[in-house]
Structure 1
């Protein structure tokens, strides 16, 4: 996969390192000369360019990329990068960093953002996920409200224990994508049994979350 990252600060470089582990082709866009250091990540293509400028993105042929990650420390810049990537270059996936949680409401489809990542919100969600049993916890939002990644930890005495995955009567448009059981990550199959203490990971639209939680608390 060909990935462009706008911003070669600590966050942008850390993302690039992770993507290199997955053998993706990564390009870092950075306008500040002092932040350009090819020796630190020799496997990455470094481009000195302002990712907010249309002509710079045209020179870099951004239309050939699969993903744009707007990872600068400036929310305004990340929004502009996202909008250009979507509207001018039809990049199929745009992920944007939210620096100030008060600006999170702006990071939506109107600005071309597919996934907005807010570190404070994500950390709060992970804390909730660690201590909440029986309550639905939203971990991440995709396309700003059209679908969410949510987690529910079943109590040890759940009435669902022993039931196969196929017996779960999930609300419409809700998908169970993973079961975390101790150190195991299970890709659920129809006959896999549910156990007390399981962490269930779903993708669900916001309007289905309350119904999902209700159904997970009741025996089928």
Structure 2
């Protein structure tokens, strides 16, 4: 069960005792996005999912990235990383194995801690 928290003062109610698996606190997400987005050199968290460290993350591919010019199939992606969306020249794509990366592309991915580390190092 995923619950949306509209009022941060009520966030304490949304836990397992109330039958909620994941509480999505809009104010917390916006705050974290602003805080982490201040340094776009890194991957930043859009949303944390569950209690095992999985996240929806976003990052921008830098010109010197090892990903530039390579397709998803050419990268040795760890099991804990799934590319969900790619913004390329203003267009949103759902990536597949043939999708190639360019400098300036923004990626959204579902990632474990290991997947996030891989992505963070690969984007630079």
TM score, norm. by length of structure 1: 0.47
**Residue 164 (structure 1) aligns with:** 71
Q: Which residue of 1 aligns with 2:7?
A: 99
Q: 3-state DSSP class of the match of 2:78?
A: coil
Inter-CA distance 108–185: structure 2 relative to 1 (3 Å threshold):
farther
Q: Quick one: which of 186, 189, 195 aligns to 2:102?
A: 195
Map 1:22-41 to 2 at 5 A. Answer: none
- Does 1:210 pair with 2:113? no
Residue pair 1:116, 1:144 contacting (<8 A) in 2 also: no
Greater helix share, structure number: 1
Larger Rg: 1
Deviation sequence 1:98-151 (CA, Å, 0-9, x none):
6337956x7455543233222222213443575543301010122244521111
* From 20, 25, 31, the counterpart of 1:113: 20
Match of residue 140, structure 1, among 40, 47, 58: 47
Q: Pick which of 135-144 and 111-120 moved more.
A: 111-120
Cα RMSD over matched residues? 2.9
SS of equivalent residue, structure 1 residue 141: strand
Aligned partners of 1:96, 1:132: CA distance in 2, in Å? 27
The 5 A counterparts of 1:38-187 are 93-97=1-5, 99-100=7-8, 103=11, 107-109=14-16, 111-127=18-34, 131-187=38-94
Asked if 2 retains the 8 angstrom alpha-carbon contact of 1:139 and 1:149, the reply is yes
* Cα distance change, pair 164–101 in 1 and its aligned pair in 2 (3 A): farther
- Count of aligned residue pairs for this structure pair: 124
Could you list the runs of 5+ residues in structure 2 that have no partner in the other structure?
none
